[in-house]
Amino acid sequence: MDLIKKVEAAFLVDNTPDFNAGDNVTVYYKIKEGNKERIQPFQGTVIQRRNSGVGETFTVRKMSGGIGVERIFPLNSPLIDHITVNRRGKVRRARIFYLRELTGKKARIKEKRV
């Protein structure tokens, strides 16, 4: 098992900020179009963080034109340029799937006071 952990440690990314479910984040993701590469921001609320180590992922949900859009990002992906935390959310669960049914003002998450 130690050999596997050593190999996985080489692929871990160190520059990720500390964020949890309920936080509003902006993920700057590299997109290749032909031979060009650009960075596209995806801003939304973190619904869940899943797994640990190299396979850790997080799901971000945003509303786009009245339609909910969710995207799953691998945390240690080389395609993620950087992640910024815009607001800290005050939630009592690790996975906030109940946001999928809520719209408008009901879908708000209180901001955590520091």
Q: Is residue 65 part of a domain?
A: yes
- Asked whether residue 106 is domain-assigned, the answer is no
What is the H or E stretch that residue 109 is in? none
Is residue 13 a part of any domain in this protein? yes
pTM of the model: 0.89
**Count of domains for the chain:** 1
What CATH code is carried by the domain that includes residue 23?
Answer: 2.30.30.790
Assigned domain for 109 exists: no
Does residue 5 register a pLDDT over 80? yes
Tell me whether residue 112 is in a domain.
no
Residue with the two structure tokens 């936080």: 23
Q: Which domain holds residue 59?
A: 2-101
Q: Residue 71 CA to chain centroid, in angstroms?
A: 8
Helix residue ranges, H only, 1-114 = 2-9
Distance separating alpha carbons of residues 104 and 95, to the nearest angstrom: 20
Judge whether residue 11 has pLDDT over 70. yes
φ, ψ for residue 72, nearest 5 deg: -105, 125
Q: What φ, ψ does residue 105 adopt, rounded to 5°? A: -70, -25
User: What number is the average pLDDT over the span 24-30?
Assistant: 97
For residue 108, tell me if it sits in a domain: no
Give the percent of the chain with pLDDT over 70: 99
18 inside domain = yes
